[in-house]
A and B are shown apart, each in its own frame.
Chain A
Amino acid sequence: MPGLAGVPTTDVAQNKKDFTSDQEVRWCPGCGDYAVLASVQGFLPELGLKRENIVFVSGIGCSSRFPYYMDTFGMHSIHGRAPAIATGLATSRPDLSVWVVTGDGDALSIGGNHLIHVLRRNVNMTILLFNNRIYGLTKGQYSPTSEQGKITKSTPMGSLDAPFNPVSLALGAEATFVARTIDSDRAHLTSVLRAAAAHRGTSLVEIYQNCNIFNDGAFEILKNRDTRDEVMIRLEHGEPVRFGANNEHGIRRNPATSGLEICSGDDPNVIVHDAQAADPSRAFALSRLADPGTLARTPIGIFRQVERPTYGDLVNEQVDQAVDNQGAGDLAALITGNDTWTVE
């Protein structure tokens, strides 16, 4: 896996328990975070990495407690700054598998600047963005992904700001890997984690996660067997973009507007998903299909997965190049310089 090249592996078989720390998990009963934690702990043994070379870094928020529950190295840092901290760690330690756990408030509000810059630099790490469209830890204010008009403690007459679409934002920030998945769909979540870990560069994984206390059922329409097939579009690289219980709907390009539109599933112009397209326009158009209010036409899966050199690899190449060209540094020569005089 290119994403994990340089990270030492082990032949010792691992299981979920190896990645479970001795700390009591303290999320609210019924929180979607439990499902994500179980999926990640269940998935990591598959990678066969030395546990001591895995680091989870988080910011602040409910989801940011995640590192405490992983029996790896970890840092629970400060609000919004995990991508910056992880950038320093990943760049200076290419032998580590670095994971960032963040939420919609942490990543998109207070930490928005760091998120877009880590994506454009393409630092080698996987970012798990738990999006529950609400502030949980501070007890129920609207978040930058909340639908407009949301009634919360801080917006008794309804929220006024337009929400971010994290996938659109990431694509606009030059991200090389962008995916969306859902906390309760373990198989899908695991398949996305697998691809994210394999990707060399910043992998952004938006996870729709239910906050059963302050925003319960926010993604119910995507989870309920009766509704999900009609509203959720599963993206698979190389496959036609169709949805509906019997793939009766499809997505095609509207030649007049150049945008995407819904068509019949058997329409010959149904587009084929290409996550590896160099141009992110199609991925962006797919990300715009979803209705931010009702979540109708919500694509999940990998929107974009392209190769681009990572920041850390480039930094380390420059260091190697400097040593190759000029030889390893000589401190005495450096501090002496070229312009000295001697006092007898």
Chain B
Amino acid sequence: MQLTGDRFTAETASFGNDLSTLPNFPAEIRAPAGTLPGVSSFQLHFADHDILTPGDAPDVLVAMNPAALKANLPDVPKGAILIVDTAEFTPRALKKVGYATSPLDDGSLNSYQVHALDLTGMTMTALEPFGLSRKEASRSKNMFALGLLSWMYGRSIDGTVRFLQSKFATKADIRDANITAVKAGWNYGETTEDFAVSYEVKPAPMPSGRYRNITGNLALSYGLVAAAKQSGMPLFLGSYPITPASDILHEISKHKRFGVRTFQAEDEIAGVGAALGASFGGSLGVTTTSGPGVALKSETVGLAVSLELPLIIVDVQRGGPSTGLPTKTEQADLLQAMYGRNGEAPVPIIAPASPADCFDAALEAARIAVTYRTPVFLLSDGYLANGSEPWAIPDVESLPTIEPDFATEKNHGSGDDAEFWPYIRDPQTLARAWAVPGTAGLEHRIGGLEKADGSGNISYDPTNHDYMVRTRQAKVDGIEVPDLEVDDPSGDARLLVLGWGSTYGPIGAAVRRARSAGHAVAQAHLRYLNPLPANTGDVLRRYERVLLPEMNLGQLAMLLRARYLVDVIGHNQVRGLPFKAEELAEVIMKEDDQL
């Protein structure tokens, strides 16, 4: 099912529609088919205009069995099209998910346009010449459905045919069966009179340029490879497999020709430890994980704060606490990233707003880490990781340069008494002098014990400790980040809707709905969570009310209220799924009505 979704997405992207996807699948690898927990779905929203979310309510639902129908029907509006595979609507399958009678026969679907088709049977008939077993042939029914949908929406199936040719290049019968199935589905749509309309969705007007479709995890991987190139520091990724971050490890492992080294560690702690060790040697050290892994890495992140070495910690957030909801999305690691360490251990945090933005966020994380000699958290989430959108491919010549500015000379005293002091700071950035092993004459030792200002020698002096704690904080507080931009087209908004991370799409869509319903609403989105943009307080105070939807119980709201004494109102959901634009629009309009 995920493969079918991916192919339809690719066809749609190359047609030039804007799109947004939401793959949704169980944590179990082979969850029992036909049961409610085992339903795997792929939601795709495409349009002839710029869109921001995978959509709340699909116009078409393809349900391959009763479980898929039951799990997804609540999201489908009345009047929408349901395509169901009747072959799977057996008494046993119906009973398994609690249908007493078949919804295809009992009238409960009367308010939908139901197309009850024997997808399995038609696929089998089409594949008869291949002499496949029943089981093998029925596997191609997804391709049949893809062909049918492609016809309905006027997508070309050429790309999918090419894809199948290369995917099954060595298995001729499987390849031909799948190609036959996708063509049969298309032809069925074209010849049958069952479907009164075929839809035409015109290409969306987008800024000119070259585009591709990209998921968050892929964009993030490319961003890290790009950051290594832009800094001249070889990329070292130390990681331990964890959902939903593992794909970044998989992706980067493929790109060794870029001088990238990947290390699948024995545990989360070794993953970040090796990354920090590589950073000490002058590599761009990165570790990728999700919330439970961050918990294990905390002590090493604290060490990186004390050593003042660059380190990027990518947290692809998922539902928590504990193992939680591994394949579902959430934004509940913000306070862990912000405060989850012993002692005063400030760490910059950046959060991408969309799948494609993960590329820029990775470059930004590297810029901050290297320029300021600090660990940086990059907070993605499950929705961004697996969701996709069109991406205007940047010109690599235009990417920012990252300057490691390694120390090569002694920096304290003169003549025979000259020494290298690793904790002498740049007055502007407060970044310390960083000499990597192999630099003659600059041998020095650093560690997790408190260091004397300047020399970096062990120091238990009370005044020095107070100074060092405040200086490390001041360094992070002083990181230059762009101002928070506000989108307030009418200029008379009294309500500001603020967000961070992956809620950008749903909030944007909801704000549009509210505006078209006549509400003047402002929107702003924070990509930098630590430090916050310098104008954040001003922006918050400019509006009568600030509404902050978050997929947690109010973590950023708490930070903002504490910091700016502004009565930020939270709207919080932790359902493992992104906000729905329509619901959010109602919340926004209700808040606005109260002003």
Contact for B278 among A77, A91, A95, CB less than 8 A: A91
Q: Assess whether B437 is in contact with A53, with CB atoms less than 8 Å apart.
A: yes
Q: A320-341 CB contact bits vs B (8 Å, 1 = yes)? A: 0111011111011011110111
A67: B residues at CB distance < 8 A:
445, 447
> What's the nearest-Cβ distance from chain B to residue A164, in Å?
18
> What's the nearest-Cβ distance from chain A to residue B266, in Å?
4
Q: What is the chain B residue whose CB lies nearest that of A87?
A: B274
Q: Assess whether B278 is in contact with A92, with CB atoms less than 8 Å apart.
A: yes
Give A221 to B592 CA distance when docked, in angstroms: 83
> What's the nearest-Cβ distance from chain A to residue B165, in Å?
14
Is there a chain A Cβ closer than 8 Å to B382's Cβ?
A: no
Q: A77-B303, A84-B265 are in contact. Are A319 and B256 (CB under 8 A)?
A: yes
Is there a chain A Cβ closer than 8 Å to B458's Cβ?
A: yes
Which residue, of A50, A325, A334, has the highest number of chain B Cβ atoms within 10 A? A334
Q: What is the chain B residue whose CB lies nearest that of A70?
A: B445
Is there a chain B Cβ closer than 8 Å to A224's Cβ?
A: no
Q: Assess whether A88 is in contact with B206, with CB atoms less than 8 Å apart.
A: no
Contact for A95 among B208, B257, B279, B438, CB less than 8 A: B438
Contact for B209 among A50, A323, A331, A343, CB less than 8 A: A343
Q: Assess whether A96 is in contact with B210, with CB atoms less than 8 Å apart.
A: no
Q: Assess whether B270 is in contact with A117, with CB atoms less than 8 Å apart.
A: yes
A326: B residues at CB distance < 8 A:
257
Q: What is the chain A residue whose CB lies nearest that of B226?
A: A331
B54: A residues at CB distance < 8 A:
none
Give A167 to B83 CA distance when docked, in angstroms: 66
Q: B204-227 CB contact bits vs A (8 Å, 1 = yes)? A: 001111111100000000100110
Q: Assess whether A329 is in contact with B257, with CB atoms less than 8 Å apart.
A: yes
Give A312 to B580 CA distance when docked, in angstroms: 48
Q: Using a Cβ–Cβ cut-off of 8 Å, how many residues does chain B contribute to the interface with A?
A: 72
Q: Assess whether A84 is in contact with B274, with CB atoms less than 8 Å apart.
A: yes
Q: Assess whether B257 is in contact with A335, with CB atoms less than 8 Å apart.
A: no
Q: A63-103 CB contact bits vs B (8 Å, 1 = yes)? A: 00001101111111110010011111111110110000000
Which residue, of B10, B209, B443, has the highest number of chain A Cβ atoms within 10 A? B443
> What's the nearest-Cβ distance from chain A to residue B53, in Å?
21
Give A70 to B212 CA distance when docked, in angstroms: 53
Give A326 to B283 CA distance when docked, in angstroms: 23
Is there a chain B Cβ closer than 8 Å to A52's Cβ?
A: yes
> What's the nearest-Cβ distance from chain B to residue A63, in Å?
14
Is there a chain B Cβ closer than 8 Å to A114's Cβ?
A: yes
A60: B residues at CB distance < 8 A:
448
Q: Assess whether B270 is in contact with A84, with CB atoms less than 8 Å apart.
A: yes
Q: Assess whether A114 is in contact with B222, with CB atoms less than 8 Å apart.
A: no
Q: B248-279 CB contact bits vs A (8 Å, 1 = yes)? A: 00000001111111010111011001111111
Q: B449-474 CB contact bits vs A (8 Å, 1 = yes)? A: 10000000110000000000000000
A316: B residues at CB distance < 8 A:
261
> What's the nearest-Cβ distance from chain A to residue B271, in Å?
8
> What's the nearest-Cβ distance from chain A to residue B355, in Å?
14
Give A88 to B234 CA distance when docked, in angstroms: 12
Q: Assess whether B213 is in contact with A75, with CB atoms less than 8 Å apart.
A: no
Q: Assess whether A85 is in contact with B277, with CB atoms less than 8 Å apart.
A: yes
Is there a chain B Cβ closer than 8 Å to A25's Cβ?
A: no
Is there a chain A Cβ closer than 8 Å to B590's Cβ?
A: no
Q: Assess whether A75 is in contact with B447, with CB atoms less than 8 Å apart.
A: yes
Contact for A77 among B255, B256, B439, B448, CB less than 8 A: B448
> What's the nearest-Cβ distance from chain B to residue A336, in Å?
5
Q: Assess whether A23 is in contact with B457, with CB atoms less than 8 Å apart.
A: yes
Q: Assess whether A114 is in contact with B285, with CB atoms less than 8 Å apart.
A: no
Is there a chain B Cβ closer than 8 Å to A193's Cβ?
A: no
Q: What is the chain A residue whose CB lies nearest that of B399?
A: A331
Q: Assess whether A52 is in contact with B443, with CB atoms less than 8 Å apart.
A: yes
> What's the nearest-Cβ distance from chain B to residue A10, in Å?
9
Contact for B303 among A52, A71, A78, A88, CB less than 8 A: A78
Q: What is the chain A residue whose CB lies nearest that of B359?
A: A335
Is there a chain B Cβ closer than 8 Å to A57's Cβ?
A: yes
Give A75 to B274 CA distance when docked, in angstroms: 13
Is there a chain B Cβ closer than 8 Å to A344's Cβ?
A: yes
Contact for A342 among B211, B229, B267, CB less than 8 A: B211
Give A90 to B274 CA distance when docked, in angstroms: 9
Q: Assess whether B266 is in contact with A117, with CB atoms less than 8 Å apart.
A: yes
A133: B residues at CB distance < 8 A:
none
Is there a chain B Cβ closer than 8 Å to A286's Cβ?
A: no
Which residue, of A21, A52, A70, A96, has the highest number of chain B Cβ atoms within 10 A? A52
Q: A92-B261, A341-B211 are in contact. Are A85 and B280 (CB under 8 A)?
A: yes
Q: B421-455 CB contact bits vs A (8 Å, 1 = yes)? A: 00000000000000001111111111111000000
Is there a chain A Cβ closer than 8 Å to B131's Cβ?
A: no
Q: Assess whether A88 is in contact with B278, with CB atoms less than 8 Å apart.
A: yes
Q: Assess whether A337 is in contact with B212, with CB atoms less than 8 Å apart.
A: yes
Is there a chain A Cβ closer than 8 Å to B281's Cβ?
A: yes
Q: Assess whether B10 is in contact with A89, with CB atoms less than 8 Å apart.
A: no
Q: A96-120 CB contact bits vs B (8 Å, 1 = yes)? A: 1000000000000000011001000
Which residue, of B277, B279, B437, has the highest number of chain A Cβ atoms within 10 A? B277
Is there a chain A Cβ closer than 8 Å to B185's Cβ?
A: no
Give A113 to B303 CA distance when docked, in angstroms: 19
Q: A91-B261, A93-B437, A331-B225 are in contact. Are A85 and B443 (CB under 8 A)?
A: no
Q: A88-B273, A331-B396 are in contact. Are A76 and B445 (CB under 8 A)?
A: yes
Give A67 to B449 CA distance when docked, in angstroms: 13
Q: A88-B273, A91-B261 are in contact. Are A74 and B445 (CB under 8 A)?
A: yes
Q: Assess whether A81 is in contact with B458, with CB atoms less than 8 Å apart.
A: no
**Which of B520-543 touch A at CB < 8 Å?**
none
Is there a chain A Cβ closer than 8 Å to B91's Cβ?
A: no
> What's the nearest-Cβ distance from chain B to residue A41, in Å?
14
Give A149 to B590 CA distance when docked, in angstroms: 71
A315: B residues at CB distance < 8 A:
261, 263
Q: A88-B285, A117-B266 are in contact. Are A329 and B258 (CB under 8 A)?
A: yes
Q: Assess whether B255 is in contact with A340, with CB atoms less than 8 Å apart.
A: no
Q: Assess whether A52 is in contact with B225, with CB atoms less than 8 Å apart.
A: no
Q: A75-B307, A77-B447, A113-B270 are in contact. Are A52 and B438 (CB under 8 A)?
A: yes
B118: A residues at CB distance < 8 A:
none
Is there a chain A Cβ closer than 8 Å to B299's Cβ?
A: yes
Give A170 to B336 CA distance when docked, in angstroms: 36
A339: B residues at CB distance < 8 A:
10, 13-14, 159, 212-213
Q: A75-B307, A92-B234 are in contact. Are A340 and B258 (CB under 8 A)?
A: no
Is there a chain B Cβ closer than 8 Å to A55's Cβ?
A: yes
Give A93 to B16 CA distance when docked, in angstroms: 46
B265: A residues at CB distance < 8 A:
84, 117
Give A60 to B300 CA distance when docked, in angstroms: 13
B285: A residues at CB distance < 8 A:
88
Is there a chain B Cβ closer than 8 Å to A318's Cβ?
A: yes
> What's the nearest-Cβ distance from chain B to residue A36, in Å?
17
Q: Assess whether A88 is in contact with B393, with CB atoms less than 8 Å apart.
A: no
Q: Assess whether A73 is in contact with B437, with CB atoms less than 8 Å apart.
A: yes
Q: B273-306 CB contact bits vs A (8 Å, 1 = yes)? A: 1111111111101000000000000011011000
A273: B residues at CB distance < 8 A:
none
Q: What is the chain A residue whose CB lies nearest that of B254?
A: A322
Is there a chain B Cβ closer than 8 Å to A51's Cβ?
A: yes
Q: Assess whether A340 is in contact with B393, with CB atoms less than 8 Å apart.
A: yes
Is there a chain A Cβ closer than 8 Å to B46's Cβ?
A: no
Contact for A114 among B236, B266, B448, CB less than 8 A: B266
Contact for A327 among B257, B279, B281, CB less than 8 A: B257
Q: Assess whether A76 is in contact with B438, with CB atoms less than 8 Å apart.
A: no
Which residue, of A51, A95, A114, A327, has the highest number of chain B Cβ atoms within 10 A? A114
Task: Enumerate 6 A-B pairs (CB-CB under 8 Å) in ascending A order.
Answer: A23-B445, A76-B448, A78-B448, A331-B229, A341-B211, A341-B212
Give me 10 other A-B pairs in contact (C-beta within 8 A), A52-B440, A88-B273 excluded. Answer: A74-B444, A74-B447, A75-B280, A92-B277, A93-B438, A322-B256, A329-B229, A334-B255, A339-B159, A340-B211
Q: Can you list the 8 inter-chain pairs with the closest CB atoms, starting with the nearest? A: A76-B447, A88-B277, A88-B274, A84-B273, A329-B258, A85-B277, A322-B256, A74-B445
